[in-house]
Structure 1
């Protein structure tokens, strides 16, 4: 099997201790359906091109430059060499700024995962010692790295024989839950509903198993494409969802009966605040 292709190589540094590491992609979209844009008239692929907004003429790659809009239609041009000249430390070094308890991690900020492994055998010992120490302390490391010409805050956690490096979303990207939950009112519920719901959850308890994940939309796309390829009738559209549940108690009890669960000891009539 071919060695994993690194998208970044450098050093992980904790205080005066450092070791060579490399970052390897942990995700792939090779199995996903990808569409090309075609000309409806002749069925041939079309390609995108940058054109001048004023003249409508195509602009060659060598004439294209990044620009930052400071005011309406007023831009500052940024040359590639000017960006490279910044030479951020994080371009070549994962400087560990702090360690945080794994239990304190807000999973909303976790965005894209990568694998982190030793760059060579000479770095393996320091890498493994640090990984095991982090595992024992149940902490994750916070750092910053330059990937694809952008600085990214990352979180590093022990993972199997290596580590998992995850890009973090910026705080300014996150919508505060207070603005979303503000209109939600306090609700009351019957005391026995909690027991009934708990029994239903127990019946469905399982382990986190990604092999059971299914992309139903992707499967529907594949089925449609296969039907069109063979000149067959297209699959039927998915039915519309039913109306919202009105009587939660009845629905829960029916669900229990369907699962073969008897709700024992549930007290009727009591209510509890949510």
Structure 2
């Protein structure tokens, strides 16, 4: 098996302790269905190109540069070499400024994961000591790193024999939950319905097992492509749910029966009778 390809190499630094590390992508798009854009007239693939907004002419790669828009139509040009000359510590060092309790991490901010491994044999001891200390304290390290010419805030936590680094969304990217939830009303509901809902949930509680996850949309795409390749009709789409929940009590009870769940009399009812 080929060694994993590192997307970043540098140092993990905690105080005076540092060790060489590598980041390896923890996700892959290799198994996804990818489409190409075709010319409907001749069925051949088409290429994307950058076009000058003024002349409509294609701009070749060597003539392209980056620009930041100050005002409408007023740009300051930035050359790629000028960006490369920005000597940021985070380009080659994951310097840990603080540790946070893993349980306190808001999962909304977690974005893309990478595996962290020692860069070489000389780094294994320091790497292992840092990982085990973090594991015992149940904390994650907070740091930042430059990946693909962009600074990214990250958290690093113990994971198996290595560590897991996860890119974080910034606070400015998040939509406040108050702007979404504040207008929601809390209706009064029958506690009996809550008990039925709890029974349904208990029946379906299991362990978190991503190996059983299925991308039904991806599966449907593959089935459609296979049918077209064989000259057959594509599979029929799944029917949309027709049942609207008008009588919640009857719908919940029907769900109980479908799952084979029997309700037992409440203990407090028996207590009232004896009293």
Query: What is the TM-score with the length of structure 1 in the denominator?
Result: 0.95
1:32 counterpart residue number: 32
**1:118 correspondence with 2:118:** yes
Distance across 2 between alignment mates of 1:78 and 1:241: 53
Q: Tell me whether 1:201 sits opposite 2:196 in the alignment.
A: no
Counterpart check, 1:13 vs 2:13 = yes
Match of 2:55, SS state, is coil
Q: Tell me the SS of whatever aligns to 2:132.
A: helix
> Please, which moves more after superposition, 241-250 or 69-78?
241-250
1:214 is aligned to: 214
1:144-223 superposed matches below 5 A: 144-223=144-223
**Counterparts of 1:246 and 1:117, CA distance in 2:** 55
Compute the RMSD of aligned alpha carbons. 1.2
Structure 2 CA distance for aligned equivalents of residues 181 and 126 of structure 1: 46
Alignment TM-score, normalising by the size of structure 2: 0.95
Output the CA distance in 2 between the equivalents of 1:137 and 1:128.
14
Within 5 Å, give how 1:15-164 maps onto structure 2: 15-164=15-164
Partners of 1:23 and 1:242 lie apart in 2 by 48
More displaced 10-residue stretch of structure 1: 244-253 or 179-188: 244-253
* Partner secondary structure for residue 257 of structure 2: helix
| Residue 258 of structure 1, CA deviation | 1.4
Change in Cα spacing, 1:253 to 1:243, as seen in structure 2 (3 Å) is closer
Range that drifts further, 227-236 or 243-252: 243-252
Give CA deviations for 1:209-236 in whole Å, capped at 9, x if unaligned: 1111011110110010001000011111
Q: Find the residue that maps to 2:7 and give its secondary structure.
A: strand
| Displacement after TM superposition at 1:243 (Å) | 4.5
Distance 1:226 1:215 in 2: 17
CA shift digits 1:96-120 (9 cap, x unpaired): 0110001100000000111001001
SS at match of 1:189: coil
Q: CA deviation at 1:241?
A: 2.7
Q: Report the Cα offset of residue 244 of structure 1.
A: 3.4
